[in-house]
Amino acid sequence: MKEKLQQEWASFIEEATTEEQEILRLFLNGIKRKKSGMNESYISSFLQIEKNTVADGLEMTFPITPFALNSLDIVHGGVTATVLDTVMGTYAHMLISKDRAAVTSEMNLHFLAKGVGEKIYSKATLIHKGNTRLVMEAKAYREDGTLMAHATGTFHIIPRPEK
């Protein structure tokens, strides 16, 4: 397997465009981030998400890289949805006991402006905490302060699966 991967790697690098090389660099850095524990999931690692706990919620930031863009060179809507789900879900986990987990059962998302610039900032807050569900809210902003997307999510509280 290792030899085959090395052959494919060498062939790819020889033929890759500058953009493809950048995507590959971002991908490798994502694997390193996950392996080092900087991020808990591969998707957060690939997007280079940074988190910051604040008094009333959780903030996450990610750089706009070619990895996050769609064919129109704006942040892909699926990336925005993933980041908003991630910031809400991560904050939900912070609000419950360690033997429990929170999984998304519903998410409503409104795209309000295109994702452009250097970074996207998101913030999740709690709307309601019950015994079996949490209702969260998240917003994503461009660097210029423009509200890019707004989401609400319901997270079902379950026993944490054993690994």
The secondary element (H helix, E strand) that includes residue 32 is helix 18-36
Task: Give CA–CA dist 72/74, Å, rounded.
Answer: 6
- The whole domain housing 35 covers 1-46
Residues 40, 51 within the same domain: no
Quote the pLDDT of residue 11: 87
- Residue listed under structure tokens 């998410």: 107
- Do 94 and 128 reside in the same domain of the chain? yes
Number of domain units in the chain = 2
Say if residues 45 and 30 touch (Cβ distance below 8 Å): yes
State pLDDT tens for residues 112-160. Answer: 999 999 999 999 999 999 999 999 999 999 999 999 999 999 999 999 9
Where is mean pLDDT largest: 1-10, 36-45, 67-76?
A: 67-76
